């Protein structure tokens, strides 16, 4: 399984394409205008990757700006945890509050469940439930290749904000310490914003996680 990262929209959000053998999963589509949509489409065409699923770690507006376009272009509908449905449904209003135009997001195809397995070719991802930044936040973990897509839970030297609706600092810290840290220090973390990191690096150097 290969990981391709794009950085889109005014929030500098990381959109990911996971792909193998010509099949791909798009995670957190932040493409917010025609140029960003074209960048993603051109890469998919050039690399002969056919997107078959659209997964959301959570539904904050910067992570869903491309959902309406992906429905038109590839007939993909988002998959999201049930507890983030109200955030998904209010993405257009949230965008307006931040001065960002967001098309109405299509209703989800299905709800992601904690503990389910996401298959891609012969590979798979485990779904981890990691609320705190958002009430229905999930992470996608590849135990074979030792990496995860953490969304906005854990960043290089930082953690997700908890001042948005449904956020809670104690819940977020518990998610990180009980769900992510036990996976191992060598796990590569692909975050929703900023550069990659590892669990070990954040245990040692993240000021929010000391003590």
- Is residue 211 a part of any domain in this protein? no
33 falls within a domain: yes
CATH number of residue 40's parent domain: 3.60.15.10
Helix axes 67-74 and 34-46, enclosed angle (nearest 10): 50
Query: What distances in angstroms separate CA 191 from CA 69, 149, 155, 204, one per listed residue?
Result: 23, 6, 6, 17
Residue 140 lies inside a defined structural domain of this protein: yes
DSSP SS3 for 120? strand
Domain extent, residue 190, equals 2-205
pLDDT digits (tens, 9 = 90+) for 12-50: 999 999 999 999 999 999 999 999 999 999 999 999 999
Q: Which tokens sit at 174?
A: 């518990």
DSSP 69: H
Looking at the domain assignment, is residue 192 inside a domain?
Answer: yes
Sign of CA dihedral 202, 206, 209, 210: positive
- The answer to whether residue 18 is domain-embedded is yes
Q: pLDDT by residue (tens digit) across 94-107?
A: 989 889 999 999 99
pLDDT tens, residue by residue, 50-100: 999 999 999 999 999 999 999 999 999 999 999 999 999 999 999 898 899
pTM: 0.96
Q: How many domains does the chain have?
A: 1
Cβ atoms 27, 55 nearer than 8 A: yes
Structural domain contains residue 60: yes
b/e per residue 186-196 (b: at least 16 CB within 10 A): ebebbbbbeee
The answer to whether residue 149 is domain-embedded is: yes
Core vs surface per residue 34-55: b (16+ CB within 10 A) or e: eebbeebbeebeeeebebebbb
Residue 175 lies in a domain: yes
């Amino acid at each position: 399984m290969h990981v391709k990262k794009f950085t889109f929209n005014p929030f500098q959000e990381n959109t990911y394409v996971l792909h193998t053998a010509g099949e791909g999963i798009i995670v957190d589509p932040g493409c917010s205008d025609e140029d960003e949509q074209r960048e993603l489409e051109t890469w998919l065409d050039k690399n002969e990757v056919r997107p078959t699923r659209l997964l959301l770690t959570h539904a904050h507006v910067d992570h869903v700006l491309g959902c309406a376009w992906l429905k038109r272009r590839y007939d993909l509908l988002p998959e999201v945890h049930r507890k983030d449905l109200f955030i998904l449904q209010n993405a257009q209003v949230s965008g307006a509050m931040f001065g960002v135009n967001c098309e109405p997001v299509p209703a989800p195809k299905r709800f992601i469940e904690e503990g389910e397995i996401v298959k891609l070719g012969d590979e798979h991802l485990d779904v981890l439930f990691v609320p705190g930044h958002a009430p229905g936040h999930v992470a996608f973990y590849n135990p074979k290749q030792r990496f995860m897509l953490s969304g906005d839970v854990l960043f290089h030297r930082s953690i997700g904000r908890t001042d948005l609706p449904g956020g809670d600092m104690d819940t977020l810290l518990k998610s990180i310490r009980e769900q992510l840290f036990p996976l191992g220090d060598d796990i590569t973390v692909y975050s929703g914003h900023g550069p990659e990191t590892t669990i070990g690096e954040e245990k040692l150097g993240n000021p929010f996680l000391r003590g």
